[in-house]
Amino acid sequence: MKMNRNQILGVLSGCLLLAQLNACSSPIIIHDTPLSDAVTAEETAPLTLDTVVTETEAVTEPIVTETESSAAEEPVDPTVLAKEELSKLRRDDLDGKNILIASADESAVFGDFFDGENAGSTVLPETRLARTRLVEERYNVRILTSVYDKEALFEEIKNASLSDLPYVADFYALPNDQIGRYFANGLLLNLRTLPFTDYSADYYDKNAMKSLSAGYGLWGAVGDYTFSPENVYAIYFNKDLNEKLALPSPYTQVKDGSWTWDALFEASRTARASLDSEGNNTIWGDNLGTLGLDICEPMFIHSAALTMTSTGTDRTPSLSADLDRMTSIAALLKNNVQNSTTSPTASAFTAELPDAAALFTEGNMLYSCSTLSNTAAWTDVKTPWGIVPLPKADAAQRNYASYVGETAVMCVPATNGALETTGTILQALFAASSHTYPEIYIEEALKYYVRDSATVDMLELICATTHYDFTSMFVSGLSNLRYATTYAIHSAITQNYSIKTVHNTYRTNAENELKTAFPTNR
């Protein structure tokens, strides 16, 4: 369901009211770590570029969608919508049972996006708390969260599975790039065995759920409950510097489809060659060289919407790699990240490296690639900035695609024996999170953080185009698949190997590995 901006204002009021009513309930703290809940966007159809407003249009015109009336509409209380979704589910009284979620800290599924001294409001944390309370009250349960270091959680779960007491938690909230490792060690339950679930509901992310489907199983759940905007990557740009250098507006480039990595790096080179007011070469183009390949490799792959393995319900995954496209991505990374001339990398300095974030916020860098968490952190910086999605790999790419970082996947332990309770609570958590994102998140950003209305349109586009892929989720546990796909790209960048040669060397082993791990008759 899409809410217009008049309705969003009612959403905010409703969240505050519910949070006040639940003020007597406080988050549980385990391992001395304060916990809160994250919430995500109702799945919506991808935004068309026609809905994106240019910077000039944003200054002079209000944003009105085709279906939005200029007349005020009655606000919609998100708690009413969430309760409506919950009312469609079975009722049960679970007698005050504790439901424990073990979360890897990197997953950030329970982190507050707008938190700390920069927080302009408490609406989002209160909305997350309200979501949990709805489930607790409907089913008479207590939902507790235990936060672990990523490696410590894996070791504890693995060791527990080999003992006489295998219980660690009822649910695992795992970083999406770690699913394969847990699967390969037999630690995950097939979610299709859970009763009282309906994974076709709108509050599950269809693309992510397909990517998590392999063989006859579904190995995790992603959707409104797990979405973490603070993990999603985007491009921040210096509006003053962009205008001073007479560069095309990134807003306009996004709208006309010309916003590609090549376009970004061309502008970065222009910025790097420019002189400051004193005639010195102190301006940098971007920070991508400082991020390194660990971040940039998966980010470029996802921004290209590259699918290297095809999968789906009741089928064995199979390699579907586009070797030419993989080669193109590797060249982009090698020429502009590994061998960057536009970022303040170690090769550019004999002294200590400057802080790339400070360079951007102080006006000495054109682009900063970062997560949406910086919309709050950079509220008071003097440099006027805007946000656009990650560029396309090339102009032929149809849609933009957002990289979600380590956003969590909800999984269930293979040893879980309380299937009815687990299925009931899993469905309820996602249902109670529906109809709240991205509307509330974007309205908060508009009120407190972003600098123009065009950025709001970009945030809508970024949140609507998050990209998930089976390969990135499962290569941590499937070594031959990794060699045939992500390692082939990495070796081309770092060792000048041929992607085609590496891929073909491991292709047969990777296909056999997939058939063994996910056997079906398809």
**Per-residue pLDDT, 74:** 53
* Largest Cα span, the chain: 73
Q: How far is CA 43 from CA 2, 15, 176, 224, 517, in A?
A: 10, 20, 18, 8, 30
Q: Are residues 33 and 58 in the same domain?
A: yes
H or E element at residue 145: strand 141-148
Q: Are residues 158 and 254 in the same domain?
A: no
d(CA 10, CA 62): 19
Q: Are residues 460 and 508 in the same domain?
A: no
> pTM value?
0.82
d(CA 494, CA 487): 10
Q: Are residues 503 and 459 in the same domain?
A: no
Q: Let me know if residue 470 belongs to a domain.
A: no
Distance linking the first and last C-alpha atoms of the chain: 36
**Per-residue pLDDT, 78:** 59
Q: Which long-range contacts (CB under 8 A, 24 or more apart) does 181-185 make?
A: 181/154, 181/476, 181/477, 182/154, 182/157, 182/411, 182/477, 183/219, 183/474, 183/477, 183/517, 184/477, 184/478, 184/517, 185/158, 185/161, 185/477
Q: Let me know if residue 472 belongs to a domain.
A: no
H or E element at residue 234: strand 233-238
Q: Are residues 301 and 418 in the same domain?
A: no
Q: Are residues 267 and 211 in the same domain?
A: no
Q: Are residues 453 and 501 in the same domain?
A: no
Domain that residue 177 falls in: 5-229+405-464
Q: Phi and psi dihedrals of 365, rounded to 5? A: -145, 140
Q: Are residues 159 and 265 in the same domain?
A: no
Q: Which amino acid is at 54?
A: T
d(CA 33, CA 281): 45
Q: Let me know if residue 278 belongs to a domain.
A: yes
Query: Of 102, 107, 101, 100, whose CA–CA distance to 178 is shortest?
Result: 107
**Residues 72-85: pLDDT tens digits?**
455 556 567 778 99
Number of structural domains the chain divides into: 2
Q: Let me know if residue 386 belongs to a domain.
A: yes
Burial of 179 (0-12, 13-18, 19+ CB in 10 A): buried
Q: Are residues 312 and 198 in the same domain?
A: no
Q: Are residues 267 and 222 in the same domain?
A: no
Rounded (10°) CA dihedral 468, 474, 475, 478: -160
Q: Which of 419, 442, 464 is the last residue of a domain?
A: 464
- SS3 of residue 118 by DSSP: helix
**Per-residue pLDDT, 285:** 96
Cβ within 8 Å of residue 164, ≥6 positions away: none
Q: Let me know if residue 393 belongs to a domain.
A: yes
Residues of the chain with pLDDT under 70: 1-79, 105-125, 276-277, 346-354, 437-439, 522
Residue 342, domain CATH: 3.40.190.10
User: For 261-366, where are the alpha helices, taking DSSP H only?
Assistant: 261-273, 288-291, 293-303, 323-333, 356-361
**Per-residue pLDDT, 77:** 61
**Residues 107-120: pLDDT tens digits?**
444 544 333 333 34
Q: Are residues 289 and 341 in the same domain?
A: yes
H or E element at residue 309: strand 309-310
Buried b (16+ CB within 10 A) or exposed e, 111-120: bbbbbeeebe
